[in-house]
Structure 1
């Protein structure tokens, strides 16, 4: 699967945010147009050690024409918090969680082999004990970072997961490429979704952010029709969100089975910066 992020920006004067450097394993890449920083998987010192998201490809910052597209959006940080993360990250659904007994192990692609502590339903917000992170290998070049996780579970699951974060030569474009090779005895059945966590020029979700779809969209759910409105192909907010307030829909309506619908734009209306997101695969579900 290949996913593209095309960054749009006006050449304007902006104040640069100053970030205190931290001792996290990281890599900087550039194609001469875009500059990006990535945090690298590390069991002991990694920035993200939670059990929700894939550990490969965490992007804390990306800059283009004086604009920033990712950043710290949360107040409290702990490496094991499920959402203490930034950049376009992915989560795979756990394998056979409902079928294993309490105290037994289950697998999450991109994370590792985890232990099921009790008979409660799986929750992405919960931190599970990691029994085995698998073997992570990272290869770096000037404009690309390649992540590989190899994992073998005694129950029969075994795979090689490969993810590439690449800056396209001569374009303001970031490409995510994924492959998953099953080398075990069991068939692998899982879904994966992308959580973008955009903070374009440090602007939080609100009236200053516009999302545009390539299809006529509709949405129902918490806050829709009051705080957020979807009209034809655009999603706009009527006011700023209060602290801990959110809107939610389990699925934007209007999607077809065509990859052409995987074409979204997110814009900062104040600064003119934005991003276009496309993929070579159709969207199964679009949660907002």
Structure 2
């Protein structure tokens, strides 16, 4: 059974543990739906799947986070057939001598997760990672809503003997009211952009400009192939928000207001989805803990 959070302005749908079942995204707090309740008028939705084709992609949907996209904990030390931990999921098995690949499916032995719904507006996940190669941890994830804001709080306690050094980000699969990507959308950042990509063809459908100190991204047309770019990190506390996505005809929008130090930024998408991704470095010594939070605001521009 899935979980829900609801107040007068937001309805949040959250998957049951194991409903996703893949080896990429955090199983706890896998947010599959966000609805902005517009009293007396049509409500607005934000979350879409990674792919519209069944069986394609890695199973992402809505606001789902991942640990270790590029820094897989313990993978390099694991031999073929041995296990390594993936925070938020479980112990994965290394099948061969190939390098770790985030989009590959690995055998999973899930971690134990306790779920507590404190009230209609707050849900807490507490996961225990069993020891593996010197790594062990407790991950607590609290999801709460207040007015039109959604907050996801993380606390990672290192209970192992080795330092945990990885990264975390949220893959925000957004398609406002399922409207296709194209000139009707604009993506804003609170600073002038210096975007780059290993594959310049992923920039073909994008338009970059600066306006009043903002970095603005637009689309020439509905993209017929995936788009992707990266941007160097910055100190999130310097800005009132980190990114803002607007569907201009309706004015329906979302922004992220997180205030942690951003290690880097990526934007990925295709014809039905736009995903701004804000990364944070996670470095926790044995016996220590690290806490951070992500804050989203859903609104209609006046």
What TM-score do the two structures reach when normalised by structure 2? 0.78
- Structure 1: give runs of 5+ residues left out of the alignment: 1-24
From 250, 255, 263, give the equivalent of 1:284.
263
* Native 8 Å contact 1:152 1:184 kept in 2: no
Counterparts in 2 of 1:190-269, with a 5 A limit?
A: 190-221=166-197, 222-223=200-201, 226-232=204-210, 233-242=215-224, 245-249=225-229, 251-253=230-232, 255-261=233-239, 263-269=242-248
Secondary structure of the residue aligned to 1:201 is helix
Secondary structure of the residue aligned to 1:99 is coil
From 96, 101, 110, give the equivalent of 1:123.
101
1:92-132 per-residue CA deviation (whole Å, 9 max, x = no partner) reads: 112121222111111110011110000011111111001x2
Q: Post-superposition shift, 1:85?
A: 2.4
From 48, 56, 61, give the equivalent of 1:86.
61
What is the aligned-residue RMSD (CA, Å)?
1.8
* Native 8 Å contact 1:113 1:153 kept in 2: no
Q: Name whichever of 69-78 and 147-156 sits farther off.
A: 69-78
Determine which structure has the larger strand proportion and give its number: 2
* Native 8 Å contact 2:206 2:220 kept in 1: yes
Q: Which residue of 2 aligns with 1:138?
A: 115
* Native 8 Å contact 1:77 1:84 kept in 2: no
* Native 8 Å contact 1:212 1:265 kept in 2: yes
Q: Which residue of 2 aligns with 1:33?
A: 9
Q: Which residue of 1 aligns with 2:279?
A: none
* Native 8 Å contact 2:236 2:258 kept in 1: no
* Native 8 Å contact 2:49 2:62 kept in 1: no
- Structure 2: give runs of 5+ residues left out of the alignment: 268-302
Q: Post-superposition shift, 1:258?
A: 4.5
Distance 1:189 1:219, change over 3 A: same
Q: Which residue of 2 aligns with 1:75?
A: 52
- In structure 2, how many angstroms separate the alpha carbons of the residues matched to 1:99 and 1:76? 36
Secondary structure of the residue aligned to 2:186 is strand
Which one scores higher on RCO, CA 8 angstroms, separation ≥ 6?
A: 1
Q: Which residue of 1 aligns with 2:32?
A: 60
- In structure 2, how many angstroms separate the alpha carbons of the residues matched to 1:284 and 1:204? 30
Q: Which residue of 1 aligns with 2:283?
A: none
Counterparts in 2 of 1:88-107, with a 5 A limit?
A: 88-93=63-68, 94-107=72-85
Q: Does 1:176 align with 2:156?
A: no
Q: Which residue of 1 aligns with 2:270?
A: none
- In structure 1, how many angstroms separate the alpha carbons of the residues matched to 2:194 and 2:185? 18
1:120-173 per-residue CA deviation (whole Å, 9 max, x = no partner) reads: 11111111001x2111111112011111110112422111101111101xx211
